[in-house]
Amino acid sequence: MNGNKPHFWPGIVPINRTAIVLSCPGRLEERKKRPVAGVTGSNLDKLLAILRSHHPDIFASGNRYDYLVTNSSDKVHYPVATGDTEPSEEEIVVAKNLMRLQSELAHCTVVLVLGDRAALAVRQAKFTGSIIHCGWHLSMRRLNTAIHEDLYRAPIIKGQGGNTAKRIAVVANSILSMLPSRYLYRGVSVEMHSAGKALVPKGSIATRVMLHDGTITYGDNATCGNSLRNAVITHQKDSIKYPDAFISFSFSFDVAKQYALNGGRRRCGIVYVIDRFFLEAHEVVEHIVTDHASNLTKPLDQEVLLCAADQGTLPLGIVVDYVPVTS
């Protein structure tokens, strides 16, 4: 196989063990003899940069051409030539096409599929690795018509700057929500680490009644009465104002690093690395914030709250590394 095909690009080892599958090549891909050659490709690079910052184990590069890139069909589609922009299901599931896709993906362990046509092709090709299904296509037309709110559920207003970045962040967040990690990360100052306070909660409660000051409402997915869910919601809104028995972690090392460095205002900090496999043995319970809260204060934090059995300090046995970080 070589790289100068409208539908296929081989990538580089070992990054190309992760593949990206799209619908089909179009006019620009036909002319440039490579997949995702236009604005969709630029959007894909922006998406990959976000995914890489959170999951470098899966997405090791922000350059689409470092990955194996292919399509649900190897046939070019665009209105002037074919009268359409996507392959039919019949074109995708024909045996010759599925055999092609099986051969191209043979050495891959993870596939990111962009769009329903791509998902159909990968499923019908009986891919046995991990499939990450993103329902969005990254063309400007698709992004603009499908995504009308940013991560914070604020309307995306036509003509304002940064709208494409906001829409790509929404796509990235939907993908990241499908990628639980074995490890959790917590960033703290050197002073907090040295004082042994990094795993000490601010309070001792793990449930809370719904507040009537407007802090949490039924729209936040809160419950009436005393509940764990209410405590998780108030923690992610303001853990200083509402102290509890939870300690905040993130699925993302980069997020933890930002907290360790206080957004760049500190020169150095420490990131605690937690192995989730050890939580049960040490009677530590985790609560993924998105399982409880619907209106996230900081959606990119990928926040996970840990709570010790006695609602006190988390045991050191769950910590597998302390990583010094600098700005």
Which pTM was predicted? 0.63
Spatial separation of the C-alpha atoms in residues 271 and 303, rounded to whole Å: 15
Q: What domains lie within the chain, and their CATH numbers?
A: 15-176 (3.40.470.10), 183-326 (no CATH)
Q: Record the tokens describing residue 236, joined without a space.
A: 């992610």
Q: Binning pLDDT at 50, 70 and 90, where does residue 3 land? A: low
What mean pLDDT is predicted for residues 25-31?
A: 94
What mean pLDDT is predicted for residues 99-118?
A: 95
What mean pLDDT is predicted for residues 261-267?
A: 95
Residue pair 258/318 in contact by the 8 Å Cβ criterion = no
pLDDT tens for 287-305 read 988 888 877 888 888 899 9
Residue pair 97/120 in contact by the 8 Å Cβ criterion = no
pLDDT tens for 40-70 read 999 999 999 999 887 887 899 999 999 999 9
What mean pLDDT is predicted for residues 62-82?
A: 95
Q: Binning pLDDT at 50, 70 and 90, where does residue 16 land? A: very high
CA atoms lying within 13 Å on the CB side of residue 110: 16
pLDDT of residue 149: 93
Which residues pair with residue 208 across a beta bridge? 227
Residue 219 vs residue 149, higher pLDDT: 149
Q: Which residues of 49-73 are buried (b: 16+ CB within 10 A; e: fewer)?
A: ebbbbbbeebbbbbebbbbbbbbbb
DSSP string, 42-95: HHHHHHHHHHHHH-TTT---S-GGGSEEEES-SS---HHHHS-SS--HHHHHSH
Sheet holding 68-71, edge to edge: 68-71, 18-22, 110-114, 130-134
Among 13-22, 25-34, 232-241, 294-303, the least confident range: 294-303
pLDDT of residue 264: 92
pLDDT of residue 1: 45
Q: Of all residues in the chain, what percent carry a pLDDT higher than 70?
A: 95
Phi/psi for 285 (5° steps) reads: -105, 135
